[in-house]
Amino acid sequence: MSEALDPRTAPKFQVAAKTLLGDSQLRKNVRHATKVIQTKRAKVVGEMPDWQDLREAGKQIRRHTMRHLDFYLEQFERNCTAAGGHVHWARDAEDARRIVVELVKASGANGASPTEVIKIKSMTTEEIQLNKALEAAGIHAYETDLAELIIQLGHDQPSHIVVPALHKNRSQIREIFEREMKLPGTDFSKLGGTPQDLADAARRFLREKFLRVKTAVSGANFLVAETGSVCIVESEGNGRMCLTLPETLISVAGIDKVIPRFQDLEVLLQLLPRSATGERMNPYNSIWTGVDKAPAGGDGPRTFHVVLMDNARTEILADEESRQTLYCIRCGACQNACPVYQQTGGHAYGSVYAGPIGAILTPQLMEMHHAQSLPYASSLCGACYEVCPVKINIPEVLIHLRNKVVKQQSSGLNILGNPEVMALKAVALVFRSETVFRTAQKMGRLAELPLAHKDGQGVGWIDWLPGMLGGWTQVRDLRVMPKQTFREWFEQRGQHAAGRRATDGAGKAAEDGR
Amino acid sequence: MRVSLFITCYNDTLFPETGKAVVRVLERLGHTVEFPAGQTCCGQMHWNTGYQDEAMPLLRRFVEQFRNAEAVVSPSTSCVAMMHDHYPLMAERLKDEKLKAEVAALLPRVWEFSQFLTKKLGLEDVGAYYPHRVTYHASCHGLRSLQLGDGPMKLLRAVKGIDLVEIENLEQCCGFGGTFAIKNAEVSSAMLSEKLRGVLNTRAEAVTGCDNSCLMHIGGALHRERTGVRPVHLAEILASEEGGAR
């Protein structure tokens, strides 16, 4: 998989899933990894007596922010600017790419454009396919997050928002490193396969970049409106390197990343690491405010930019029923908990946002023009909602988006080409009348006759169904309808009872009912 | 108590034995069972698949049929969850104040069958006898939406003669998911095969639960694989008595 995950061109979920289900190594890797993270999460969540209160607090913070998003964004802009940062506004992905490319070009010494940048893991920059745009402008982006480095060197795509290389195992990673890592004076061909060996190789490979490259691009976990600060949490320290060593730092963030107060981090930085990686606290928590204005020396970059990107987020905000999608703090817990994701891994979702959150976020980022199969990529089991640290009712949003898809499919003449829409609308009419329902039950018994076979015990079974119903009989049999419906039995029994009451005289009829 | 049975469309058509079992258990416990004849479907399939306009008349029909019920009991976790989770929102969206009030007044009286026994009646032992090795499948809607907890297990533990054995992946979805089983047949099958392994590892003769839709999905594969393990609704186990025909 070297093609970028682009919802505009990706195959339908069920088509992509079918292919991925055939990759037994990938399924083994995904199942193992999700299970390990889930177990760790359950342990550290279990030790918090106030976890449900924290979730509620997290939800309220995010809900409040979204209701006053304009206010907090402007407050962030003011405070970040006052601290020496430069804030840029991007309407969409194209806008954001253009701004970042221009900023990178302008960041070189003596007016020369740099040819390289170092990057911190950022799903927002994946969302807008920033690396491709940089490459087109003659700028190579080095991913410095270990998992992102694996993806980049393997010409692969992220399959998880927290653990992008979750679908690869250790020996696959060793092979990628051996094949792709090139560094003058270092021989990666005899690379060992332990985690230490691999981390060592990555360290050697990346240190050289950290010390050489003067421009960094990052995302953001949170933007604090009250102080104009930006927060990034990570596990490796490579992010900290990118945040402190370069001369110029450019942070790209969706407008949904803002939070009102510094104190809100108290809640969110408890929820995020426990939900994401099953850690009590992230190993590296970086929070910075503008630039160090000391004329000589001082820490961190001399120039700092924040690109605030909309890219359909205000559309989501405008929809009251799915607005909660924007509460997401990108912990990935819903992905690990999802039984669908556990089977297919992330690539089936055709988007950098996979799993349940991807199934609601991606179609909305596409303003419902693409990825219409994603809201259906769920059994609505509710495991995602149960683990979500900010209580996004993902099943409810999925259903809401399904309704939008159905409205598209049943508008005008579209309906004629869609047997499912016709069938469901017809069934709905059946349920609107008891008499029609009874007739349909009788007709169903007749219609299934030609399909039924009797088993050894004389019970009828169907092992093949036509058309879209054939999905059922791929792996399951269906028992034929019993000769009598429940309501027929109940009425008959009532008549018998009434008959007996008439002959026996009134009284003790009820207990003889059966 | 006067109990109004909401049988649900698929139990009415495909699983009448479950309905009969509910009637038997409730009458054995001394309650009267009524069956409002105009009932059809709760609207879950339409609502969950995105056909929200089509589900609305079914909400109205349900309220019309059951508004005067002392208690509504239904042997389907997903249908009862549909009502509790979505009916208030549906009424809200219809902007019908009278309907909203009626839904709010009716829902606290709507119970899933096992929930009615354990939470409303406070029972565990309902006098059943079922001398078989059985495992319990917790349907997602029962588990997460209705929060049934170990209510069904308590009822099962009190059954005489039962050899109850817990499944390893109790909280994992079986992959049914309504139209998901057809729209995403391959993923649904993959999820199902994990659940099936769990069922077979228990070496149970029967797999039970509170929702025949999951059981139809699991049972359909158990039959396809000729495992000899049968699906049976919890109500049917609870209806069985020592010396009885079942």
Looking at the partner chain, which of A344, A406, A471 has a beta carbon nearest the beta carbon of B181? A471
Residue A418 lies in a domain: no
Q: To probe the interface with B, which of A38, A340, A341, A379 has the most B CB atoms within 10 Å? A: A379
Looking at residue A511, its pLDDT comes to 42
Q: How far is A220 from chain B (nearest CA, A)?
A: 33
Q: What is the average pLDDT across A473-495?
A: 94
Looking at the partner chain, which of B40, B47, B180 has a beta carbon nearest the beta carbon of A399? B47
Instruction: Give residue-wise pLDDT tens across range A222-264.
Output: 999 999 999 999 999 999 999 999 999 999 999 999 999 999 9
Q: How far is B18 from chain A (nearest CA, A)?
A: 9
Spatial neighbors of A281 by CB under 8 A, at least 6 apart, are A269, A273
- Confidence band for A506, pLDDT divided at 50, 70 and 90: very low
A474 and B CB contact within 8 Å? yes
Q: To probe the interface with A, which of B20, B66, B183 has the most A CB atoms within 10 Å? A: B183
B145 and A CB contact within 8 Å? yes
Is residue B199 helix, strand or coil? helix
Q: Do residues B224 and A476 make contact, with C-beta atoms less than 8 angstroms apart?
A: yes
Looking at residue A292, its pLDDT comes to 86
- Confidence band for A1, pLDDT divided at 50, 70 and 90: very low
| Closest residue, chain B, to A482 (C-alpha) | B14
Looking at the partner chain, which of B13, B17, B55 has a beta carbon nearest the beta carbon of A441? B13
Q: In this model, does residue A182 exceed pLDDT 90?
A: no
Interface contact A404-B50, CB threshold 8 A: yes
Looking at residue B135, its pLDDT comes to 98
- Confidence band for A497, pLDDT divided at 50, 70 and 90: confident
The sign of the CA dihedral A107, A110, A112, A115 is negative
Q: What is the average pLDDT across A91-105?
A: 98
- Confidence band for A509, pLDDT divided at 50, 70 and 90: very low
B2-120 domain in CATH 3.40.50?
yes
Q: In this model, does residue A392 exceed pLDDT 80?
A: yes
From CA A241, how far away is CA A260, in angstroms rounded?
Answer: 27
Q: In this model, does residue A508 exceed pLDDT 50?
A: no
Q: CATH second-level architecture of B133-239?
A: 3-Layer(aba) Sandwich (3.40)
% of residues, chain A, pLDDT over 90: 85
Q: In this model, does residue A5 exceed pLDDT 60?
A: yes
A382 and B CB contact within 8 Å? yes
Q: Between β-strands A116-119 and A86-90, what pairing exists: parallel, antiparallel or unpaired?
A: unpaired
Residues of chain B contacting A463 with CB distance shorter than 8 Å: 224
- Confidence band for B245, pLDDT divided at 50, 70 and 90: low
Number of C-beta neighbours around residue A414 at 10 A: 12
Q: In this model, does residue A294 exceed pLDDT 80?
A: no
Q: In this model, does residue B233 exceed pLDDT 90?
A: yes
- Confidence band for A456, pLDDT divided at 50, 70 and 90: confident
Spatial neighbors of A444 by CB under 8 A, at least 6 apart, are A481, B13
Instruction: Give residue-wise pLDDT tens across range A159-172.
Output: 999 999 999 999 99
Looking at the partner chain, which of B43, B179, B190 has a beta carbon nearest the beta carbon of A343? B190
% of residues, chain A, pLDDT over 70: 96
Interface contact A474-B216, CB threshold 8 A: no
From CA B222, how far away is CA A422, in angstroms rounded?
Answer: 32
CA distances from A33 to A170, B71, B132 (A): 11, 46, 38
Interface contact B185-A432, CB threshold 8 A: no
Q: To probe the interface with A, which of B187, B188, B218 has the most A CB atoms within 10 Å? A: B187
Looking at the partner chain, which of B32, B55, B58 has a beta carbon nearest the beta carbon of A510? B32
Q: Between β-strands B32-34 and A478-479, what pairing exists: parallel, antiparallel or unpaired?
A: unpaired
* Count of domains for chain A: 1
Enumerate residues 14 to 73 of chain B having a beta carbon within 8 A of any beta carbon in chain A: 14-20, 23-24, 27, 32, 35, 37-41, 43, 45-52, 54-55, 57-58, 61
Q: What is the average pLDDT across A397-409?
A: 96
Looking at the partner chain, which of B40, B171, B184 has a beta carbon nearest the beta carbon of A437? B40
Q: In this model, does residue A503 exceed pLDDT 70?
A: no
Looking at residue A147, its pLDDT comes to 95
Q: In this model, does residue A39 exceed pLDDT 80?
A: yes
Q: What is the average pLDDT across A281-285?
A: 96
Q: In this model, does residue B22 exceed pLDDT 80?
A: yes
Is residue A455 helix, strand or coil? coil
From CA A362, how far away is CA A353, in angstroms rounded?
Answer: 7
Give the residue ranges of DSSP H helices in A339-433: 339-344, 355-365, 383-387, 394-409, 419-431
Enumerate residues 246 to 285 of chain A having a beta carbon within 8 A of any beta carbon in chain B: none
Residue A364 lies in a domain: no
A472 and B CB contact within 8 Å? yes
B142 and A CB contact within 8 Å? no
Q: What is the average pLDDT across A402-423?
A: 88
- Confidence band for A507, pLDDT divided at 50, 70 and 90: very low
Complex ipTM more than 0.95, yes or no: yes
| Closest residue, chain B, to A472 (C-alpha) | B182
Q: What is the average pLDDT across B171-187?
A: 96
Residue A2 lies in a domain: no
Residue A492 lies in a domain: no
Half-sphere exposure of B165 (CA within 13 A, CB side): 16
Q: Do residues B107 and B88 make contact, with C-beta atoms less than 8 angstroms apart?
A: yes
Q: In this model, does residue B109 exceed pLDDT 70?
A: yes
Domains B2-120 and B133-239 share a fold: yes
A179: domain CATH number is: 3.40.50.10420
Q: To probe the interface with A, which of B13, B137, B141 has the most A CB atoms within 10 Å? A: B13
Residue A115 lies in a domain: yes
Q: What is the mean pLDDT of chain A?
A: 93
Looking at residue A504, its pLDDT comes to 59
For residue A319, give the nearest of A360, A260, A371 by alpha carbon: A360
For B236, list phi and psi in degrees, rounded to 5. -70, -35
- Confidence band for A502, pLDDT divided at 50, 70 and 90: low
Domain boundaries, chain B: 2-120, 133-239
Residue A40 lies in a domain: no
Enumerate residues 425 to 444 of chain A having a beta carbon within 8 A of any beta carbon in chain B: 425, 427-428, 430-434, 437, 441, 444
pTM of the complete model: 0.95
From CA B184, how far away is CA B177, in angstroms rounded?
Answer: 10
Residues of chain B contacting A443 with CB distance shorter than 8 Å: none
Which domain range does residue A309 map to? 70-316
Burial of A195 (0-12, 13-18, 19+ CB in 10 A): exposed
Q: What is the mean pLDDT of chain B?
A: 97
Q: What is the average pLDDT across A356-370?
A: 97
